[in-house]
């Protein structure tokens, strides 16, 4: 895990420079150390969250009476109790939700699900697959050539994921209520044999208002937002402004899917793939993007997003 933390720190520095790295250290210290436990006992949950969020979003958040997008995410974390958040955040149980609301045809193939990684039948898996933890973000490993894979290392990594109490560190209660499991899924690629773009739809009261696309996530991470008509936007959130790309082949179909999956919520981010014309694939549903700590540039866009919620 120390190697992972070092790698993550370097990636944060690459993406945003020294200021981003210092902010990340600040957040980590206040969320994941002994100091965090002490502060939570002395301060209210809201005040603790305000102290964490302030350097990230660029203003002192008003959590109990929220106005902006980030404030409303933080409010959702601290002042709601929604069992449905648990279901749609669970990388395994969300498959049932998707099947019931859209249909199973947009799901990836599921090869295996387990609470004991030692039982994963690697010999029976295809040459390419994805390993995921069900109870948080950032727990996934892509295997592109099974013959070159170190199965013992994969099992060890999966066991570390199972021990990670992800939700308790980010105050996202829905993750703490998920039974930690490991799933093995189909690896999706486009018609050129590469990983397809991940389209992230911001659904407010059943209507898509914005979509964002990330570029070069593992090197020079940038991000571009579009409105529902695929007009590129000039604002950013957390990462520098990315290039403008062509409208995906099945934008209208993806918007319809995203709105069907998000219609039960005042806000939900729905992630979809469009690997080839005519095929839409479900990625995940995100209850609290960036845990409410993603800075908008300019700041007034944060409040514009909040006005849709």
Number of domains in the chain: 3
Give the pLDDT score at 220.
81
Same domain, 203 and 292: yes
DSSP per-residue letters across 176-195: HTSPP-EEEEPPP--TTSSP
Last residue of a domain, one of 185, 220, 235: 185
Same domain, 131 and 214: no
> What phi and psi, each to the nearest 5 degrees, are found at residue 154?
-65, -45
Task: Dump pLDDT digits (tens) for 123-159.
Answer: 999 999 999 999 998 899 999 999 999 999 999 999 9
104 in a domain, yes or no?
Answer: no
Same domain, 243 and 173: no
What is the average pLDDT score of the chain?
A: 90
Give the pLDDT score at 169.
79
Is 60 exceeded by the pLDDT of residue 201? yes
Range of the domain at 124: 109-185
Task: Dump pLDDT digits (tens) for 49-99.
Answer: 999 899 999 999 999 999 999 999 999 999 999 999 999 999 999 999 999
Contact partners, residue 157, CB within 8 Å, separation at least 6? 131, 141
- In percent, how much of the chain has pLDDT > 70? 85
Same domain, 226 and 264: yes
What pTM was computed for the model?
0.87
134 in a domain, yes or no?
Answer: yes
Q: Return the CATH number at 230.
A: 3.30.470
CA 74 to chain CA mean position, Å: 15
> Nearest-CA neighbor of 199 among 178, 175, 174, 225?
225
Task: Dump pLDDT digits (tens) for 4-62.
Answer: 344 455 555 555 556 566 666 656 666 655 566 666 666 678 888 999 899 999 999 99
Give the residues across from 203 on adjacent strands. 208, 268
88 in a domain, yes or no?
Answer: no
Last residue of a domain, one of 140, 165, 185: 185
Task: Dump pLDDT digits (tens) for 279-303.
Answer: 999 999 999 999 999 999 999 999 9
Pairwise CA distance, residues 110 & 113, whole Å: 8
Is 90 exceeded by the pLDDT of residue 275? yes
Give the pLDDT score at 301.
98
Same domain, 299 and 233: yes
> Nearest-CA neighbor of 267 among 1, 80, 24?
80
Same domain, 48 and 74: yes
Is 60 exceeded by the pLDDT of residue 3? no
89 in a domain, yes or no?
Answer: no
E strands, the chain, are: 110-114, 129-133, 140-143, 182-185, 198-204, 207-215, 222-227, 236-237, 267-276, 279-286, 296-297
- In percent, how much of the chain has pLDDT > 90? 75
Task: Dump pLDDT digits (tens) for 103-120.
Answer: 999 999 999 999 999 999
Same domain, 252 and 272: yes
Last residue of a domain, one of 120, 152, 185: 185
Pairwise CA distance, residues 9 & 30, whole Å: 16
Same domain, 13 and 42: yes
- Pick the more confident residue, 104 or 215: 104
Mean pLDDT confidence for 173-186:
96
Confidence of residue 2 (pLDDT cuts 50, 70, 90): very low
Same domain, 231 and 292: yes
214 in a domain, yes or no?
Answer: yes
Mean pLDDT confidence for 223-249:
96
Same domain, 199 and 178: no
294 in a domain, yes or no?
Answer: yes
Same domain, 168 and 241: no
103 in a domain, yes or no?
Answer: no
DSSP per-residue letters across 122-191: GGGS-SSEEEEESSSSS-EEEES-GGG--HHHHHHHHHHHHH--HHHHHT-HHHHTSPP-EEEEPPP--T
Same domain, 199 and 304: yes
92 in a domain, yes or no?
Answer: no
């Amino acid at each position: 895990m120390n190697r992972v933390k070092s790698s993550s720190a370097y990636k944060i520095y690459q993406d945003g420079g020294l200021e981003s790295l210092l902010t990340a250290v600040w957040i980590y210290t206040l969320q994941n150390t002994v100091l965090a436990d002490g502060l939570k006992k002395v301060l209210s949950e809201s005040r603790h969250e305000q102290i964490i969020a302030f350097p990230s979003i660029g203003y002192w958040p008003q959590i109990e009476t929220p106005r902006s997008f980030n404030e409303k995410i933080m409010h959702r974390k601290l002042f709601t109790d929604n069992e449905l958040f648990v279901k749609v955040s669970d990388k395994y149980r969300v498959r049932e939700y998707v099947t019931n609301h859209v249909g199973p045809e947009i799901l990836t193939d599921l090869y295996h699900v387990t609470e004991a990684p030692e039982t994963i039948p690697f010999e029976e898996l295809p040459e390419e697959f994805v390993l995921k933890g069900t109870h948080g973000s950032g727990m996934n490993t892509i295997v592109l050539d099974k013959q070159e894979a170190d199965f013992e290392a994969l099992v060890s990594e999966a066991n570390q994921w199972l021990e990670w109490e992800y939700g308790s560190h980010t105050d996202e209660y829905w993750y703490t209520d998920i039974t930690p499991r490991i799933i093995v899924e189909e690896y999706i690629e486009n018609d050129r044999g590469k990983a397809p773009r991940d389209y992230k739809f911001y659904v407010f009261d059943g209507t898509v208002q914005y979509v964002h696309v990330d570029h070069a996530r593992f090197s020079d991470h940038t991000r571009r937002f579009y409105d529902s008509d695929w007009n590129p936007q000039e604002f950013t959130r957390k990462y520098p402004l990315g290039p403008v790309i062509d409208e995906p082949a099945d934008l209208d179909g993806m918007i319809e899917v995203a709105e069907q999956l998000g219609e039960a919520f005042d806000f939900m981010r729905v992630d979809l793939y469009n690997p080839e014309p005519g095929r839409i694939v479900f990625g995940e549903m995100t209850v609290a993007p960036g845990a409410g700590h993603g800075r908008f540039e300019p700041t007034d866009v944060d409040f514009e997003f909040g006005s849709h919620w």
